[in-house]
Amino acid sequence: MKKLLSTTAIAGLLISGSAFAQTTITGEMRINFKGVSQDIATGTTPNSGNGFGTEQQINFANKGKLNVGGLDYAAGFSIENDGAQVGTLFNENMYIDITNASSGTTLSFSQDHIQRSDSDRSAAVMFGFSPNDFSSGGNSGTFFDQTAGVGTGASQSVAILQKVGNFGTVSYNYAPTTTNQVTTTTTSGVGSSESFTETDEESSYEIGFTGSLGVTGLDVAAFKAKQKAIISGATHAAVKPESDHFGIRYTTGAISVGVAQKKYNQDAAAIKIETKEKHYGAAYAVDKNLSLSIVHAVGDRTNVVNKQKTTGLQMGYNLGPVALTAGVAKTDDLAGVAGADQKQFMTRLIGAF
């Protein structure tokens, strides 16, 4: 689950679990409903409909002290099922972290765990649904990609994280074989614990920063990632994947505002095709339970004339152990296809335990 639950007054659930010594078990369950109505664009067929979706996740975590140098450790993994998932249930939030508390340095051997750009950190997502959620489901696809760019963090990787006072955390993450989110590759090149399986996705790295820069209420995220190459047969593909993500959000009292930009290229192409996403958002916490927000996102691609524009309104209500989110959105020119306009209604129940 890439969407991060906010800990501010605006959003959501505090996940609690049962603790046994140094081990904790937590979980989350989502039940979604989406209704899509799409206009007919020239040369296309409308794709309208509605239906339910589900997702479940159980997290196991353990922490304590190593018997060397007074170092801290944390280890864990998640079992996650997206609907009727075909692939493995164990490819998210797997980690062993070794931390020197005095220096603020962490060495992480992990997958889908540390801070990174392909988490949905969009400033438009104060709670609830992202521009990708609000625009997917039509027959024209969408320019908005929740896991866009080089998939270093989604792969088996090794990372170093360094806390810099109250400014934030700097990270460097390296994956010897990458799960690139833009291509159709779905494995991370890892076999059993005693063997490995390398795919055609070569190594990649990602440099990142998240933090407040010492300013109360400020949340900044900046990432840059590159991949060495994609191998097709015995030759290297012409385009090397790379991505740049930046976002800034400011919260004061009950109000949050933010902007974000994603820029990444389609590595499966013979020439460099770049996608840009710009997200804007504002949210207001009416009280401790009710929050309202508006999101607007613009996406364009270098080989497509028209821009895709999505605007959505949503409401979130905290029911204690269950959170409810409901939203409506309108998208113009889905995936740059003129006249492929779409309207959506979405609602989601999240239960935590």
pLDDT at 177: 81
Both tokens of residue 244? 């740049």
On the 0-12 / 13-18 / 19+ scale of CB atoms within 10 A, 351 is middle
187 three-class SS? coil
CA dist list (Å): 86 to 31, 54, 161, 193, 336: 19, 14, 33, 22, 31
In this predicted model, what pLDDT tens digit does every residue of 159-214 receive, in sequence order?
A: 999 999 999 999 999 988 876 555 433 344 555 666 666 666 778 899 999 999 99
> Which of 114, 77, 113 has its CA nearest to residue 193?
77
CB count in 10 Å sphere of residue 133: 26
- Tell me the C-alpha distance between 86 and 316, whole Å: 31
d(CA 19, CA 25): 7
pTM for this entry = 0.84
3-class DSSP assignment, residue 242: strand
For the chain, give the percent of residues with pLDDT over 70. 78
Looking at every residue in the chain, the average pLDDT score rounds to 83
Asked if residue 239 lies in contact with residue 264, where contact means CB atoms within 8 angstroms, the answer is no
Rg (CA), the chain: 20
pLDDT for 306-333, tens place per residue? 999 999 999 999 998 899 999 999 999 9
* 135: three-class secondary structure by DSSP: helix
pLDDT per residue as tens digits for the range 31-89: 999 998 887 665 555 567 888 999 999 999 999 999 898 899 999 999 988 877 777 78
Q: Could you tell me if 124 and 133 are in contact, meaning their C-beta atoms sit under 8 angstroms apart? A: no
User: What torsion, rounded to 10 degrees, do the Cα atoms 81, 87, 89, 92 define?
Assistant: -100
Can you tell me the distance from the alpha carbon of 150 to that of 310, in angstroms, rounded to the nearest whole number? 24
The CATH architecture that domain 18-352 belongs to is Beta Barrel (2.40)
Whether the predicted pLDDT of 5 surpasses 60:
no
**Helix segments in 18-101, DSSP class H:** none
